[in-house]
Structure 1
Amino acid sequence: MIIGSDAVVQNWPLFSTLKLGKRRPYWIEPLPSERRYPNPFWGYGFSDIIPTAMMSVSSQNSKYQKFSRYMLKRMGKSLKRLKYISVRDAWTKDMMLAAGPELSIDITPDPVFALNQNVGEKIPLEEDIRNRFVLPDKYVLIGMRTQILSIPFLEALNDAMRIEGKECVAFPIDGAMAFSHPFKHSISIPLSPLDWYALIKYSAGYVGSNMHPIVSSLANGVPCYSLDNWGSTNFWGKKENNASSKVFDILKQYGLENNWAQIENNVCNVTVNEIVKRLKEYPIEQVITISKVRYAKYEKMMQDIIESLFGR
């Protein structure tokens, strides 16, 4: 059994589900069982009889510092039954080491880093993508889960990109176009996963939310700037500056911490000039070199998983 890759090793104590509300002073966020330990994503209930490995899993910035000693001890027992464990961010590794300090845990790439090699010829060709979506010569994809950037901001960004010989294109996130825009070009939905990936692969840049567009950009040496919606929050709903964001963790591995701005209360305090500057100064060769190293680490992870489950 191979578990992952995704945010499958979450656990949220009761206090962390307590939220402030506008209509009522506070409320408790209901959570499904897959976001609380124990559940099958931890190998709970079967890993003692079925050889099990975790592949590039994530805790989605679960607040492990607040876990009880009893909870950490139980987690540690579950993790020790696994044949192999790898995680995709430092926060998750620290959480697991808090549960089992003697555990051997690697930080490994998200499998999207290997999509070019694993999917290969099934990825649409650039000419096909450009013809079907009627794209400008050089386009920068803008993708947001909500209206993080205003229409005037997006107009100014598009004007600045045009000076650089590029055109902004609205890009759907999470299967929807969730923001208004002034751009001439936009990508319609429904959109197949491979078309979605190819649109990023052949673009001149990506600016926006979520982790996988950033990973897809990095894997292809595409300049990117993250408007980051991830990271832990305190009781008051304010983002905590504790490096818990999985997107920040990935960009840090590339030395691209400056290509990142945090979203706070659905607002991102970044300037047009900053975005344009970071895309223009993007170290493409450095990113390509690091991505090759990450792919090699991915291959080693897959080999380690096979050997851990089936022996040499």
Structure 2
Amino acid sequence: MKAIVITEPGDADVLALRDVPAPVPGPGEVLIDVAAAGLNRADVLQRQGKYPVPPGAPEYPGLEVSGRVAAVGTGVEGLEVGADVVALLSGGGYAEQVAVPAGQVLPVPPELDLVTAAALPEVAATVFSNLFMAAGVREGEYVLIHGGAGGIGTMAIQLVAAFGAVPMVTASSPKKLALAESLGAKVLINYKEQDFVEEVRRATDGRGADVILDVMGAKYLQRNLDALAVEGRLVIIGLQGGTRAELDLNALMTKRCAVMGTTLRARPEAEKSAIMAAVGEYVWPLLRDGTVKPLVDRTFPLAEAAAAHEYFDSGRHTGKILLTV
């Protein structure tokens, strides 16, 4: 089969379409003919040589796909050949086929087309596991979402609103903030022109955010703490702003805050399967009734993965970028 390989760490032009061995489903696995793959920042980091591939995962990028079941391994129940599915992967999604543990596979909601569904697995699993399973977002709480116009951000806004909490977002332009507002964001902060700590305090009458979902890491660490409410929870899922920073521990203890750092890709299969089961139980009904919708910016053919990465790197996108097979 054909897949996108990283010829060497570097810019988008290191991505090349090559012939690679086709995967074979092992016990408990499903083989999927890929229809589309989602592009995520983790793919960019892997391309740059900054995100090692977990042991046993394919070396080519891609953490989520949609497609049709081509074969099932021994012990797989409830998934039949020909079924339309989405899957959360440890790698290998930029390809014509992928083998994945059956617990990381969900049926495509009938209301969605097969290609668009590729925008769901990684963002839905990331948002639900971090905001609701780890941080325990509750109805009425204020939730600050950094990068509100990206794939993670647009899903987070919708899920926070759907479960009765109040989404607040940061973004870099009026256009991106308008998109966030259309999805349900109630507090809109242009981080290039406004101090998000001050804006969060103003919007909450000085209380602060109960939960913050952060993709920046070190650059925002102390300011995130300043923006948190008493007993607030900060969940760090990205390091776009660096990996090392000082933190005022007195402020952390005084506010009785929790700081959590998580990744999804390297988690054990059992944990990822549990997350996908929860996504199927709590998020899929919201997709079926139209409360939550995946947002796709652009699609590119698989062979044009380099162009898709260039577009992602430009920062112009809103929502997801997909590669179609």
TM-score normalized by the length of structure 1: 0.30
Structure with larger Rg: 1
- TM (normalized to structure 2)? 0.29
